[in-house]
Structure 1
Amino acid sequence: MTEQAHFLQREKQSVLATRSDREASVEPLQLGQRVREIRQSKNLTLEEASKLTGLARSTLSKIENEQISPTFAAVTKLVTGLGIDIPQLFTQPSTRPAASGRRAVTRKGKGQLHPTTTYEHELLAEELSGKRMIPYRTTVFARSFDDYQDWVRHEGEEFLLVLSGRLALFTEFYQPVELAEGDSAYYDAEMGHALVSLSDEDAVVLWVTA
């Protein structure tokens, strides 16, 4: 595995671990609990909900406490009486928190550097954990495909934007393509790929891996 692949694998593992923790926190839907949540969100007592739905207070209480499962007729009364749609009743409300307002500013040249023999990566927004994408600014040292021991490949998809210079994008299943300042490319990162600077100065790209 190349140095860049090691670097990206570490970052991806951090992202996937956070995502896995988030997914593991999702619990199976409990219909009774969902009925109670909807009733309480509307500030209704059991007695008030009973009058609106036409279901006996005791029946409604047993449904909420998972003592009985509502019949289709009861579900119809719940939906009509509480003024909701059936999907609302059977869909777990999103546990995703409201926008947290996370923000990270990385000043020019202040990102965390990860030099390799072919690239120097400057990791951006380093202070944010659990990112859904990995942004980094990369200076391309390589001047020939032979500078690489093998194709670079790793999980995910990748976007690159050339910030300065000219370069050749080598990809496993396509002919090399020349990219100049302002050009961009999006590709499957599990496909072998590599960048080579063509300009006198080292090309610089913005890379985003997801």
Structure 2
Amino acid sequence: MSEQAHFLKKEKQSVVITRSHREAAVEPLQLGQRVREIRLSQNLTLEEASQRTGLARSTLSKIENEQISPTFTAVTKLVNGLGIDIPQLFTQPEEKKAASGRRDITRKGQGRLHPTTTYEHELLAAELSGKKMVPYRTTVFARSFEDYQDWVRHEGEEFLLVLSGQVMLYTEFYQPVALEEGDSAYYDAEMGHALVSLSEEDAVILWITA
């Protein structure tokens, strides 16, 4: 099953996860305005952007109007189809200026949240533009590889560090491996991969994509 077909199926079958304490605090990261800005900067119509990304015109319209939150696969299609990288999608364009250094601090619980059916990503250092890597703190909702139905894959390399709980890391060319608090992994993100929680509580990891 293709990634697109898989996630269309997941959209129809997705179960609402009731976590009242999270619902009160979660403000999903709004990517619609940024997607529209990038599309218009390339003088693309919705139809042209649809052809480039492989996403339906109606799906693109809903993303731009904040009617739906894009899945990780949809984000990957946007990145590849529009010829940008992930940091460009999540941050404003960098203004060229002379500087000896820069810094961004994210206080606990104050990162930009982007929840999906399998993860809840908290983007860190979100105020910095033009980053060469994207750090985020992720709560892993998935409990089985079947929650994905297909591999997750995208450009770049990834590093993960387990902050709490226990996870199972599935990778396309290796046997699944259990990772506990303090364990880490570095891998090629173009290789199919998926992560599920093994612990009673949702595991939490630090993820860095470059």
TM range (shorter): 0.5 to 0.7
1:14 deviates by 4.3
Per the TM alignment, residue 137 of structure 1 is displaced from its structure 2 partner at its CA by: 0.5
In structure 2, runs of 5+ residues without a counterpart are 8-70
Q: CA RMSD in A?
A: 2.6
Contact 2:119 2:139 in 1 (8 A): yes
Match of 2:146 in 1: 146
Q: Does 1:163 align with 2:174?
A: no
In structure 2, the residue matched to 1:6 is 74
2:85 counterpart SS class: helix
Aligned residues: 134
Aligned counterpart, 1:114 = 114
Tell me the secondary structure at the aligned position of residue 113 of structure 2. strand
How many Å separate the matches in 2 of 1:13 and 1:145? 25
Cα deviations by residue, 1:81-133 (Å, 9 ceiling, x for unpaired): xxxxxxxxxxxxxxx97653211001111111110000000011111110000
**Aligned-pair CA distance for 1:150:** 1.3
Q: Deviations over 1:170-190 (max 9, x none)?
A: 001111000000000000000
Q: What's the TM-score, normalizing by structure 2?
A: 0.58
**Percent of aligned pairs sharing the same letter:** 73
Gaps of 5+ in 1: 23-95
Contact 1:158–1:208, Cα closer than 8 Å, also in 2: yes
Distance 1:121 1:208 in 2: 11
In structure 1, the residue corresponding to 2:158 is in which secondary structure?
strand
Q: Deviations over 1:47-81 (max 9, x none)?
A: xxxxxxxxxxxxxxxxxxxxxxxxxxxxxxxxxxx
Instruction: Give the equivalent residue in structure 1 for 2:208.
Output: 208
